[in-house]
Structure 1
Amino acid sequence: MVESLGSWWRSLTHRNDDDEHDADDDTLDDATNALLSMLPLASIVVDEHDEVIRAHPSAYSLGVVRDDVIIEDSVLQAVREVRSFGGKKQFDLTTTTAYVAQHTPKAGKLSTRQAAKQALIGQQPASKPTATVSRPNWLKVIVGKLSDNLVVVLISDVSESVRFSQVRDSFITNVSEQLLKPTQSLEQLADIVEQGGTSQQDVERNAMQLRQSCSHLEHMISDLLLLIKAQKPILPTADNRINVMDPVRVVVNSHREVAAQRNITIDMKGDESLEINGEAEQIQAALAKLVENAITYSKDGSTINVVAKANEGGTEAVISVLDRGAGIAIGEQSRIFERFYRGDNQNDHSGDGIGLGLAIVKHVALTHHGSASVWSSPGQGSTFTLVLPLAGE
């Protein structure tokens, strides 16, 4: 990549004596503009006064340029060095993009019950900006000379690959720990039996720990297999027509006992006429993940609402799961559907998760030509919505 850019710069900056371009011209010819537009990188062209005369929109959103000026000192320094001494400079850079997050009004202006009611009927609470959050950008920068007066900065945004690597490393660590737990429990049980003289109560306690570890490992493997299955798009046929309330009812009824252990009530209502085309096992698994999450992050004694209805146009089934839990931080809401991502709002009931539940929900939605989304506000709870196209006549 560096060599090809170097060849491009050399050919671009080569001038014959009879070149019609004046040496002091700080404008770009059509060929240069066209070439910069075709490059899969964000480009910035800077004149001899350090003023930005051309910049890709990403240069602004990535926090390198503002008001036609380069605001990153390392980039500006590289531009000046290349202008003075020629050659190329290549380096890594981390910036932050700040943006104003939309947040719901605090209690008093809009109660939790009001927010929940609005969410249930498909309305979003009135929003206003109340917080500024930032997102890191990992960039690779190349700086080179275009002419005596002009310097070009090329920026490659590698943020997604860096974030994926971070999530992957976290996942590997998490899964490794989970794989070790059954082995450790088995070793402890073997030690107790081998030493002899231990009480039946000790044996039973260690056997129970081993069973729990194995159960969790089985659950994790099942999630991975389900995620793999939820990759192939579902084609509508006469054989895969499903009444929406059937999987909703199965999931809710199968989780009532678990919810009741923490005095949590699950309220269910929906349109019995809604039908979709899909894989029943996948739909049920996705809904189960949403209900399980709602139970996990809800407060003891609270209520979870599960609602299925048609959208306003009558073309889609909208299944919502609403809880009154701690909510999700604004800065994390765009990432919670990523594979293996786990937010900072973990509690005593969520410690064993590996971050696949909502990824499964997203992929089930996509394979069924639908979508998954979240509305959440810290302190007011969350509403997860699974939208699926209704079956045709």
Structure 2
Amino acid sequence: MKRPWFALKAVLTLIAMIAVISAYWTAAFFLAEAVYDRLDWRPQPLVRQLVTANTGFLLMGISMSAIAPFIRRHEKAYWQNLMNAIQRIAKGDFRVNFHVDREKRNHPMTELVTGLNDMVAQLRAMEEMRQEFISNVSHEIGSPLTSIRGFARALKNEDLSREQRMRYLDIIETECVRLSKLSENMLRLTMLESNQHSFFPAPYRLDAQLQTILLRCEPQWAEKDLDMSAELEKVVITADEDLLSQVWLNLIHNAIKFTPKGGRITIRLEREGDKAVVTVCDTGPGIRKQDQHRIFERFYKSDKSRHRAAGGSGLGLSIAKKIVEIHHGKISVHSRPGEGAAFTVELPLQSPASAQSG
């Protein structure tokens, strides 16, 4: 559609230019003829043409000179407004919205203004995400620091028994570990998002890796008397084993964390064509539908009180999602409140990212 429109626009512009030039040269011709009649002079045809041409150029120049100040004033105001808006953007004000002339939608300036509006909208969205991120980080750091400060003050009381002192010290140590883990996860996620993390894909047995991780987590699920079952098909995958271990640890830890005592967790590994599909199912409280599309966002918590009681920071699933994306796979969740949750990870057996290097 665009090419015929541009062709038509070029033809119309050419016709308009020819009409304007013809009008000036017609006026120049009659003006010159009037001068010839007044002077009773009949010059040669070549002289007539030269006089008509020069007079036409003169008339065009005079009219353009008369119109130019008004055009310049309009253009100057337009460019000044544009520069002022860009300066506001440079200072961090992303509420700027450039006016788009709908009658000149295909004009280069209109395309520039539309592009600037899109850029400002993206910057505004990024600024909102940045502010939300800072707010979440401040909240996550502030909570354990408040706890540490409160129990440190309480330890100054000389009347405390040894049991109370040890309990307060255990709480302080737990909160310090929580802060350390938060810092570690934030650094890991930042490195993953900036593509600075080492990436070393190699073929290995995915079923053996999952079995090993389940054994590592046995003290946690045995303590809650959980029914843990694994249905693992033999699958060889080319991927970064260390990175994917973080995905499985996050998913299994979450399942253990939110499954009530005596509940059931099922880990499945199947090969579907050229993909490996891992599913982690639990019988926990589940996730509301309106929360499922945001569950992989940084610091997002569908139930803040539940996460805090479990010691989560809201970064585990974000890290898992990023690692899966690095492997050109995808992660999804299916859940209903009260019916548990099922996290599914699909990974290509031969990762396209294997050609990359850290």
Q: What band does the TM-score fall into relative to the shorter chain?
A: 0.5 to 0.7
Helix, strand or coil at the partner of 2:319:
helix
Whether 2:341 is the aligned partner of 1:382: answer yes
Does the Cα contact within 8 Å between 1:308 and 1:320 map onto a contact in 2?
yes
String of CA shifts for 1:197-232, please: whole Å, max 9, x gaps: 432111111111122112212222332343345444
Give distance in 2, aligned partners of 1:216 and 1:268.
Answer: 30
Give distance in 2, aligned partners of 1:308 and 1:245.
Answer: 7
Helix, strand or coil at the partner of 2:174:
helix
- Equivalent AA in structure 2 for residue 341 of structure 1: F
Residue 182 of structure 2 corresponds to 220
String of CA shifts for 1:150-197, please: whole Å, max 9, x gaps: xx99664446325413431332222321561574266236514xxx34
- Equivalent AA in structure 1 for residue 286 of structure 2: G
Greater strand percent: which structure? 1
Q: What is the identity percentage for the equivalent residue pairs of Structure 1 and Structure 2?
A: 22
Shift of 1:305: 1.0
Give distance in 2, aligned partners of 1:171 and 1:350.
Answer: 13
Whether 2:303 is the aligned partner of 1:345: answer yes
Give distance in 2, aligned partners of 1:178 and 1:280.
Answer: 34
- Equivalent AA in structure 2 for residue 343 of structure 1: K
Does the Cα contact within 8 Å between 2:286 and 2:335 map onto a contact in 1?
yes
2:247 counterpart (286, 300, 320)? 286
Task: From the CA coordinates, give the structure whose radius of gyration is larger.
Answer: 2
- Equivalent AA in structure 2 for residue 386 of structure 1: V
Does the Cα contact within 8 Å between 2:301 and 2:307 map onto a contact in 1?
no
Shift of 1:267: 1.4
Shift of 1:374: 1.7
Give distance in 2, aligned partners of 1:269 and 1:301.
Answer: 20
Shift of 1:373: 1.8
- Equivalent AA in structure 1 for residue 138 of structure 2: T
Residue 253 of structure 1 corresponds to 215
Shift of 1:235: 5.0
Whether 2:270 is the aligned partner of 1:309: answer yes
Shift of 1:262: 3.1
Shift of 1:364: 1.4
TM-score (ref. length: structure 1):
0.55
Residue 64 of structure 2 corresponds to none
TM-score (ref. length: structure 2):
0.60
Residue ranges of structure 2 left out of the alignment (5+ in a row)? 1-12, 19-77, 86-93, 105-109, 352-358
Give distance in 1, aligned partners of 2:126 and 2:279.
Answer: 32
Residue 211 of structure 1 corresponds to 173
RMSD of aligned alpha carbons? 3.8
Does the Cα contact within 8 Å between 2:200 and 2:240 map onto a contact in 1?
no
Task: Flag the 1:242–1:143 CA change in 2: closer, same or farther, 3 A.
Answer: same
Give distance in 1, aligned partners of 2:95 and 2:251.
Answer: 35
Helix, strand or coil at the partner of 2:331:
strand
Give distance in 2, aligned partners of 1:144 and 1:304.
Answer: 56
Shift of 1:362: 1.1
1:264 counterpart (186, 201, 226)? 226
- Equivalent AA in structure 1 for residue 315 of structure 2: L
Whether 2:256 is the aligned partner of 1:295: answer yes
Residue 82 of structure 1 corresponds to none
Does the Cα contact within 8 Å between 1:296 and 1:350 map onto a contact in 2?
no
Shift of 1:375: 1.9
String of CA shifts for 1:338-382, please: whole Å, max 9, x gaps: 2x2323234445443222101110121122232222222333222
Helix, strand or coil at the partner of 1:191:
coil
